[in-house]
Structure 1
Amino acid sequence: MSPLTADPSLEAVIDTSKVSTEITVANIDLATKSGQPTSKWDIPRTERDDPFQFGQRYLDDEDAVWDYNAWDHVEWDEEQEILAQEKLQKQRENPVNDFDRKLYMSNPSRYWDLFYRNNRSNFFKDRKWLQLEFPSIYAKATAADSGPKTILEVGCGAGNTLFPIFAANKNPELKIVGVDFSHRAVELVRESPEFDPAYIATDVWDLADDSGILPAGLEENSVDFIILIFVFSALAPEQWAVAIRNVDRLLKPGGEVLFRDYGRYDMAQLRFKGGRLLQDSFYVRGDGTRVYFFTEDELREIFGTKFATEKMGTDRRLLVNRKRKLKMYRIWLQARFIKHAASDDVKRLTR
């Protein structure tokens, strides 16, 4: 469940730092999902940044907006809110037709497979920001004295999350498992020269599979960390409940879910034209892949009573193209959820 598309149009608004060097919305969105900041679009964070503060460059003077390529914590004014609502209303008035909707909803994995079959592994960029955004992995799982630990990445794509983690690993007892419902994505991981079967396992597995089958080699309550980076947005809302049950089954009590995905009103959402809306806040890109845009309240409801919200933040970033005088407002949600211990569940039920 990684970004895909070969459609470079603004209408598709896909995730593509992977498609071309052309400065388009598609490029920006894909750079986000691939996790590779670029000199044109993103300002690398410093080690002093709190991962859940999302940077410290504030735009206090509107006249200074063109001084840098990116600004953090940029709030919208009332006029922008109104314009966003107007764009969403136009999308609602021209949704995907019923025939195409059934097509896109019936077999979503085929579109991801097509993408990976058309792109080589060097098309994807490693997520080098992981240690800043999710330091608990490195403190608790990859440190030399961490002991036996299991990390599961759901939607592993070509391995651009699990390979950076493995490269930083000093724990001889670490096990990393990467799963994806795209057969080709899993093949790319296995074909990589960075793949080491002594530490890394892979499997073709769908997070929203309701058959009860778990990824090969994993049992219930056996995983310490589950990574969900731009994964839940590919699921239809009716699949969320099954996905959460699978996460709950796999994760140990006290285990962590590390989450990052698209936020409501993100530029990618507002750029969609007619014929892309599948249902409220859920769209199909030009290549047939799907994307949902979340709110914090939705995430709290999705993860429900089985998980404590340890951290949650909305990353509001203004990216600017100083040469073309373009402003691009990006919104992402990031969170860390902790699975309640069994004793905590009992306490809540008896209150």
Structure 2
Amino acid sequence: MLQGWCETMPQCDQNSVCSTETRALTSEEHIKLQLQNKRLVSEHQAAKLELNAKRYWDLFYKRNETKFFKDRHWTVREFEELSIDGNKSQAPKVMLEVGCGVGNLIFPLIEEHPEMYFYACDLSPRAVEFVKSHPSYNENAVKVFQCDITTDEILQEVAFESVDIVTLIFVLSAIHPNKFHQTLQNVFNVLKPGAVVLLRDYGLYDMAQLRFKAGHKISENFYMRQDGTRSYYFSIEVLGNLFVKAGFEVINNVYIHRRTINKKEDLDVPRIFVQGKFRKPT
């Protein structure tokens, strides 16, 4: 199934390993996954989580403001399209960040790419207001707006086939799996032919998935956090199929293996992400 899915391997930094294999689970970890199935989120509660998704993310930003995420400078190392060292005459001119949060990705990029124009959207109105209040916010360089990417609202703000690059950084996992296809179709519609989607998200058997207790699992690989937000954990097979069905070509699609190490607390836990680059055919 993976044949032809990775034209090129992405450049991993020295603390990461790229692979087309997720990690093998221990017998204890298998038991943890089985225990999650003992009590699932009820259909009524799952429907309520979906109905109130915007509210839960708005409450997340009310609690955490701009302090939860660090600026994502790593994206310029992982994706050559975002690097300042690229050929600027060939560089993308218009970028859309879906799920911009409080601007941890776009503001570092604005500094590196003053020649580009940025669209940024988020489900949370509060997150959008944080972006607008950022000291580096400049309406000549960026347009930020509230939007539900699972609907066609995006075309009210961004013209059809007008964007050179779209980023989906830990965004698709927060969306109900039933809406993955429509989300990618909406992204497909705003991209120019030959333009790309850059993605990083949670991978299958990431330590965060294994930590969920019974009562938090909604459906296969889809979970509810304590604060009402949700997270899906992707295999590269599922991810690749989603993009192919939405009309994309797969340039690369791999697992990123990292370790979170805290010597003070004697912690050493494996993190697994999926990372991919997907192109709209010309």
TM-score (norm 1): 0.72
- In the TM superposition, structure 1's runs of 4+ consecutive aligned residues that sit over 4 Å from their partners are 71-78
2:143 alignment partner, one of 190, 196, 201: 201
- Matches of 2:153 and 2:57, distance apart in 1: 21
Map 1:209-248 → 2, pairs under 5 A: 209=151, 212-248=152-188
Structure 2: state its 5+ residue gaps: 1-7
Map 1:301-312 → 2, pairs under 5 A: 301-305=241-245, 306-312=247-253
| SS of structure 1 residue aligned to 2:153 | coil
**Structure in which a larger fraction of residues adopt strand:** 2
Structure 1: state its 5+ residue gaps: 1-49, 58-70, 342-351
Map 1:244-263 → 2, pairs under 5 A: 244-263=184-203
Q: State the AA in 2 paired with 1:55.
A: D
- Matches of 2:136 and 2:153, distance apart in 1: 28
What is the alpha-carbon root mean square deviation over aligned residues?
2.4
- Matches of 1:126 and 1:148, distance apart in 2: 21
- Matches of 2:90 and 2:136, distance apart in 1: 22
| SS of structure 2 residue aligned to 1:340 | coil
Map 1:102-181 → 2, pairs under 5 A: 102-138=47-83, 144-146=88-90, 149-171=93-115, 174-181=116-123
Q: How far apart are residue 139 of structure 1 and its match?
A: 6.1
Distance 1:329 1:164, change over 3 A: same
Distance 1:303 1:51, change over 3 A: closer
Q: Structure 1, residues 269-289: CA drift from partner, whole Å, max 9, x if none? A: 000011100111000100000
Q: Residues 121 and 192 of structure 1 are in contact (CA less than 8 Å); yes or no, is this contact kept in structure 2?
A: no
Q: How far apart are residue 121 of structure 1 and its match?
A: 2.7
Q: Structure 1, residues 292-314: CA drift from partner, whole Å, max 9, x if none? A: 00000001110015111111221
Percent identity reads: 36
Q: How far apart are residue 329 of structure 1 and its match?
A: 1.1
Distance 1:56 1:192, change over 3 A: closer
Equivalences, count: 273
| SS of structure 2 residue aligned to 1:118 | helix
Q: How far apart are residue 53 of structure 1 and its match?
A: 4.4
Q: How far apart are residue 323 of structure 1 and its match?
A: 3.7
Q: State the AA in 2 paired with 1:119.
A: N
Are 2:228 and 1:288 aligned?
A: yes
Q: Structure 1, residues 123-168: CA drift from partner, whole Å, max 9, x if none? A: 542101111011213369x865347711000000001111111010
Q: How far apart are residue 86 of structure 1 and its match?
A: 1.7
Q: Which has the larger radius of gyration?
A: 1
- Matches of 2:212 and 2:237, distance apart in 1: 23
TM-score (norm 2): 0.88
Distance 1:122 1:284, change over 3 A: closer
Q: Structure 1, residues 14-43: CA drift from partner, whole Å, max 9, x if none? A: xxxxxxxxxxxxxxxxxxxxxxxxxxxxxx
* 1:182 aligned residue: 124
* 1:348 aligned residue: none
Q: State the AA in 1 paired with 2:232.
A: Y
- Matches of 2:102 and 2:278, distance apart in 1: 25
Q: How far apart are residue 82 of structure 1 and its match?
A: 3.1
* 1:191 aligned residue: 133
* 1:339 aligned residue: 280
- Matches of 1:73 and 1:249, distance apart in 2: 30
User: Which of 315-324 and 264-273 deviates more?
Assistant: 315-324
* 1:319 aligned residue: 260
Q: How far apart are residue 263 of structure 1 and its match?
A: 0.3
* 1:9 aligned residue: none
* 1:37 aligned residue: none
- Matches of 2:30 and 2:57, distance apart in 1: 30
Distance 1:258 1:87, change over 3 A: same
Distance 1:147 1:315, change over 3 A: closer
